[in-house]
């Protein structure tokens, strides 16, 4: 006795419901994998916590902030944004592992939405990022960081941080689909440091050489960091001497991630569809 062949929905509304259901199933699968791999979760969350303690206490005493503000309050928004960008490496390795094990081939053999796998992986990563930002938020409060903005401003800052993580996740998804194997993911973390260091994450861009400061000011990470500082009410407000993206940080913290997703979403979906060809 053979199982009946599943019928793929044909109408537009039915296909949307089908895609949403498949996406949620894939999201739950990745969340279950995370729950069964506590070492990955702990490792992902431990790095930003250690970084907060290291930079906040070891280096913080030797770094001054414009206006003589608290360096920890200046630092934390940058650390939040840095952690969001570091999600690229973890996502890429997870996707490359699935490709190497043939998991995606099995998904492609099933009657399911083509976009469900990539969107489901992204949704799971964003949910995981909420856990990361919550832990960092609490850790920041423990070491003396405070937010001084209104509830709506604080919520908007957290939303912009998660939007950056969403964009970074699509980059990681595409990179994971083109890697030759999960072992290749080891080169990603060293490549992430220039992206996160050539920004206003740890020091003001005004303190950098002119050419390097210009690069940092146009770094999408800098816009999110500046927007978070502004909305949290932390030191480090952009001066009139910096580039336009930092003078309009909240706007660009929204625009940059949307531009990144507009580029990498179709690339990732197309690459996924071509995997078995």
pLDDT in tens, 57-71: 777 666 777 666 788
**pTM for this model (two decimals):** 0.86
SS3 159: helix
CA distance 265 to 173: 9
- In this structure, the number of other CB atoms found within 10 A of the CB of residue 81 comes to 29
- The helix-helix angle for 249-273 and 220-232 (nearest 10°) equals 130
pLDDT above 80 for 240: no
> Hey, what's the torsion of the CAs at 252, 89, 57, 68, to 10 degrees?
-10
CA distance 21 to 141: 38
> What is the pLDDT confidence band of residue 9, given thresholds at 50, 70 and 90?
low
Q: How many helices (H) and strands (E) does the chain have?
A: 12, 0
Report the percentage of the chain scoring pLDDT > 70: 85
Question: Mean pLDDT lowest for which of 6-20, 27-41, 127-141, 261-275?
Answer: 6-20
pLDDT given at position 194 = 87
pLDDT above 60 for 111: yes
CB 117 within 8 A of CB 124: no
Question: Mean pLDDT lowest for which of 45-54, 124-133, 251-260?
Answer: 45-54
> What is the pLDDT confidence band of residue 206, given thresholds at 50, 70 and 90?
confident
CB 228 within 8 A of CB 160: yes
The pair of three-digit structure tokens given for residue 256, joined into one six-digit string: 């940059």
pLDDT above 70 for 260: yes
> What is the pLDDT confidence band of residue 3, given thresholds at 50, 70 and 90?
very low
The residue with tokens 């531009």 is 259
pLDDT in tens, 218-234: 999 999 999 999 999 99
pLDDT above 90 for 95: no
CB 159 within 8 A of CB 66: no
CB 174 within 8 A of CB 94: no
**In sequence order, what DSSP letters do the residues of 238-258 get, joined into one string?**
--TTS-HHHHTHHHHHHHHHH
pLDDT in tens, 163-195: 999 999 999 999 998 887 777 777 787 788 888
pLDDT given at position 199 = 93
Local structure of residue 200 (DSSP, 8 states): S
CA distance 232 to 274: 44
CB 79 within 8 A of CB 51: yes
């Amino acid at each position: 006795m053979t199982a009946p062949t599943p019928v793929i929905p044909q109408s537009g509304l039915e296909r949307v419901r089908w895609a949403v259901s498949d996406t949620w199933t894939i999201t739950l699968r990745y969340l279950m994998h995370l729950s069964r791999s506590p070492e990955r979760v702990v490792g992902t969350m431990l790095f930003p916590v250690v970084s907060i303690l290291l930079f906040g206490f070891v280096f913080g005493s030797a770094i001054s902030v414009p206006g003589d503000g608290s360096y920890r309050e200046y630092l934390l928004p940058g650390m939040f944004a840095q952690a969001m960008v570091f999600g690229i490496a973890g996502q890429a390795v997870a996707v490359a592992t699935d490709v190497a094990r043939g998991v995606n081939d099995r998904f492609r053999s099933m009657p399911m939405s083509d976009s469900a796998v990539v969107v489901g992986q992204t949704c799971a990563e964003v949910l995981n990022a909420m856990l990361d930002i919550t832990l960092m938020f609490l850790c920041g409060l423990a070491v003396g960081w405070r937010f001084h903005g209104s509830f709506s401003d604080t919520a908007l800052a957290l939303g912009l941080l998660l939007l950056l993580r969403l964009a970074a996740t699509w980059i990681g998804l595409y990179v994971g689909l083109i890697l030759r194997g999960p072992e290749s993911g080891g080169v990603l973390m060293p490549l992430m440091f220039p992206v996160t260091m050539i920004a206003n994450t740890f020091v003001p861009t005004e303190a950098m050489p002119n050419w390097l400061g210009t690069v940092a000011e146009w770094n999408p990470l800098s816009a999110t960091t500046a927007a978070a500082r502004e909305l949290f009410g932390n030191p480090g407000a952009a001066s009139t001497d910096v580039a336009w993206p930092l003078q309009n940080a909240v706007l660009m913290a929204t625009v940059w991630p949307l531009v990144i997703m507009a580029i990498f979403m179709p690339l990732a979906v197309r690459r996924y569809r071509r995997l078995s060809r």
